């Protein structure tokens, strides 16, 4: 088998590139995906989002090593093993990131990736339903909408933010991220609008695009040049040849793993695994970042939450309505109100994110509180902690070693304590007077720094936003893995384009910036002129130096 371009991974960035590289019909493209079909209600029904993440058929099932600063806990580190990758198992929350995130990327050596450079790609990829005119796209493959916010608790959360003195925003993906407002979803016509539905499936109707179900074992490199991908399927090892380029889009865990299996990475580590070093790139697998979050849960005194829908009969009725009409409670992820806030004076742009949910339940759907309740998922956006991904062995089937080093920076603890206390302040506002019962979690007994730290250690969870392990930067920076055109430094005809190339993590959920990377990388791969830079100026709080609100 042979194609001009061979893409490893059909996730958020991989699906976007598969579509764009095959679009004009001049190039043949093969996408390699190990996972299976995304057909079925567990993936396509938005309200069922907690299921696919816990199903081995859809998830790689990775775990972190014991985290030293979290009492040795091993945290789940899911990644999609299915058509559409993690966009088929995620929470369907759409956040572009803040303008300053991308200006930071450029300052760190990712030339041409400032906000002015990336905003046109966000506009190209979107069809926005209800976003801010001028700032949003209206003809792209990715449909983005707001939830209906029928539950009065969503409005209570937004009003409580205003009562606490914070900003409101009509569109956090538009001019103004900071403030309380509606949350955006990648849901279209009642279905999960994954990268597979938006990009890959329409493109697979083209004769020049082919999907190959196989495990990518390594990239074949000859004389310093990527020439193909060695795959395993049906018990046999084969090679898919790439006449132009190999593009790795396999996630922040599997992209560095594949580079290392192919001899690209920290030389000493590769030699210890018995792998010949092709390019000694010490940055491969380092710079691993994520967002952590906690749930602050409150009992609700009125029976208006989703708790009443947790029984089997209600679930059956919800499922039936969704199955036949693609409507009702099953057609939302129930993340319909959000906030992006600054933690203190002197912080220029938001560094705290909120998802609000009208039920008290874990993200994975387990251990629902035995009462009507509501909760805010809250966490700091810009932790200084860094981890790494390394090989467990030279066996391509072995899971990588994932160490986040969560909470290793002292500022993380200060930030999380502030997040909890700030959430309590918001829940105490008059907007919640008609609904507020007792605090379920952390609970009124957790007040001191020590008590909050104990709660954080036991209960903090990943928001499942891993990135940074194949960092983009200047070609002369020894810790860069790819240059600003996403080319792997030291190997020709090889690129990486997914969340692993982020120099630093962006504000909010990572699906949108991952797709944007796939869109922009496609222009670099095809060597076409990038889209013209935008001259729109984002809103920065005029009080940022003197107030947190």
Helix (H, G, I), strand (E, B) or coil at 101: helix
Of 493, 5, 537, 17, residue with least CA distance to 249: 17
CA atoms within 13 A on the CB side of 195: 34
Binding residue per annotation — 37? no
Binding residue per annotation — 321? no
Binding residue per annotation — 30? yes
Binding residue per annotation — 92? no
Binding residue per annotation — 482? no
Q: Which two tokens stand for residue 177?
A: 């991220």
Give the DSSP letter string of 472-515: B--TT-TT-SB-TT-BBTTSBTEEE-SGGG-SSPPSS-SHHHHH
- Is residue 129 annotated as part of the catalytic site, yes or no? no
Binding residue per annotation — 7? yes
d(CA 373, CA 300): 4
Binding residue per annotation — 24? yes
Binding residue per annotation — 13? yes
d(CA 160, CA 428): 8
Binding residue per annotation — 440? no
Q: Which two tokens stand for residue 35?
A: 């996972």
Of 15, 62, 16, 57, residue with least CA distance to 37: 57
Binding residue per annotation — 19? yes
Q: Which two tokens stand for residue 321?
A: 């309505």
Indicate which residue of 69, 143, 355, 465 is catalytic: 465
Q: Which two tokens stand for residue 168?
A: 């409101």
Binding residue per annotation — 220? no
User: Within 10 A of 315 (CB to CB), how many other CB atoms are there?
Assistant: 15
Sign of CA dihedral 255, 258, 263, 268: positive
Cis preceding-peptide flag for 442 (omega within 30 of 0) = yes
Q: Which two tokens stand for residue 207?
A: 């004769």
Binding residue per annotation — 33? yes
Binding residue per annotation — 5? yes
Binding residue per annotation — 131? no
* Alpha-carbon distances of 531 from 120, 483, 485, 524, rounded to whole Å: 6, 19, 14, 11
Of 292, 355, 349, residue with least CA distance to 548: 349
Helix (H) or strand (E) segment spanning residue 103: helix 99-107
Binding residue per annotation — 10? yes
Decide the pairing of beta strands 264-265 and 279-280: parallel
Binding residue per annotation — 8? yes
Binding residue per annotation — 3? no
Binding residue per annotation — 17? yes
Binding residue per annotation — 26? yes
Binding residue per annotation — 29? yes
Binding residue per annotation — 32? yes
The alpha-carbon radius of gyration of the chain (Å, integer) is: 23
CA atoms within 13 A on the CB side of 269: 25
Identify any residues that bridge with 332 across adjacent strands, giving them in sequence order: none
Helices (H), 382-429: 410-427
Binding residue per annotation — 9? yes
d(CA 115, CA 131): 18
Binding residue per annotation — 18? yes
Which residues are known binding-site members? 4-33
Enumerate the active-site residues: 465
Which residues are known binding-site members for FAD? 4-33
């Amino acid at each position: 088998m042979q194609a001009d371009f061979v893409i490893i991974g059909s996730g958020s960035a991989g699906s976007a590139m598969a579509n764009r590289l095959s679009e004009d019909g001049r190039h043949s493209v093969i996408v390699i995906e190990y996972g299976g079909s995304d057909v079925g209600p567990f993936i396509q029904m938005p309200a069922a989002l907690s299921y696919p993440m816990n199903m081995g058929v859809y998830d790689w099932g990775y775990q972190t090593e014991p985290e030293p600063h979290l009492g040795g806990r091993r945290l789940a580190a899911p990644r999609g093993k299915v058509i559409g990758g993690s966009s088929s198992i995620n929470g369907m929350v759409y956040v572009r990131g803040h303008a300053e995130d991308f200006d930071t990327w450029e300052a760190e050596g990712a030339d041409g990736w400032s906000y002015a450079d990336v905003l046109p790609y966000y506009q190209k990829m979107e069809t926005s339903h209800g976003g801010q005119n001028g700032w949003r796209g209206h003809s792209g493959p990715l449909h983005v909408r707001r939830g209906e916010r029928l539950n009065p608790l969503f409005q209570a959360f937004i009003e409580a933010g205003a009562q606490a003195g914070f900003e409101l925003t009509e569109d956090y993906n538009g001019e103004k991220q900071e403030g309380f407002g509606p949350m955006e979803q990648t849901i279209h016509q009642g279905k999960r609008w994954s990268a597979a539905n938006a990009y890959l499936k329409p493109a697979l109707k083209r004769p020049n695009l082919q999907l190959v179900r196989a495990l990518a074992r390594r990239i074949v490199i000859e004389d310093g040049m990527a020439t193909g991908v060695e795959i395993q399927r049906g018990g046999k090892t084969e090679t898919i040849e790439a006449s132009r380029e190999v593009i790795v889009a396999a996630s922040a865990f599997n992209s560095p793993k594949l580079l290392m299996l192919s001899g690209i990475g920290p030389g000493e580590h590769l030699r210890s695994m018995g792998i010949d070093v092709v390019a000694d790139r010490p940055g491969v697998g380092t710079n691993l970042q994520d967002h952590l979050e906690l749930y602050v849960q409150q009992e609700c005194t009125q029976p208006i939450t989703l708790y009443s829908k947790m029984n089997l009969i209600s679930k059956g009725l919800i499922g039936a309505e969704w199955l036949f009409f693609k409507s009702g409670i099953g057609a939302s992820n129930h993340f319909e109100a959000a906030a992006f806030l600054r933690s203190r004076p002197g912080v220029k742009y938001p560094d705290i994110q909120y998802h609000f949910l009208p039920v008290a339940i874990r993200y994975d759907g387990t251990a629902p509180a035995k009462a009507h309740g509501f909760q805010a998922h809250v966490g700091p956006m810009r932790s200084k902690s860094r981890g790494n991904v390394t090989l467990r062995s030279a066996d391509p089937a072995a899971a990588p070693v994932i160490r986040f080093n969560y909470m290793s920076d002292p500022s993380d603890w200060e930030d999380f304590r502030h997040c909890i206390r700030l959430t309590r302040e918001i829940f105490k506002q008059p907007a919640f007077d008609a609904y507020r019962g007792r605090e379920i979690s952390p609970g009124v007994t957790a007040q001191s720094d020590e008590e909050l730290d104990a709660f954080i250690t036991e209960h903090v969870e990943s928001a499942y936003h891993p990135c940074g392990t194949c960092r983009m930067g200047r070609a002369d920076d020894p810790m860069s893995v790819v240059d600003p055109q996403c080319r792997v430094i030291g190997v020709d005809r090889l690129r990486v384009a997914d969340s692993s190339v982020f120099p630093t993590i962006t504000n909010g959920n990572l699906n949108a910036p991952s797709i944007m990377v796939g869109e922009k990388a496609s222009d670099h791969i095809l060597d076409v002129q990038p889209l013209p830079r935008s001259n729109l100026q984002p809103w920065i709080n005029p009080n940022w130096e003197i107030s947190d609100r």
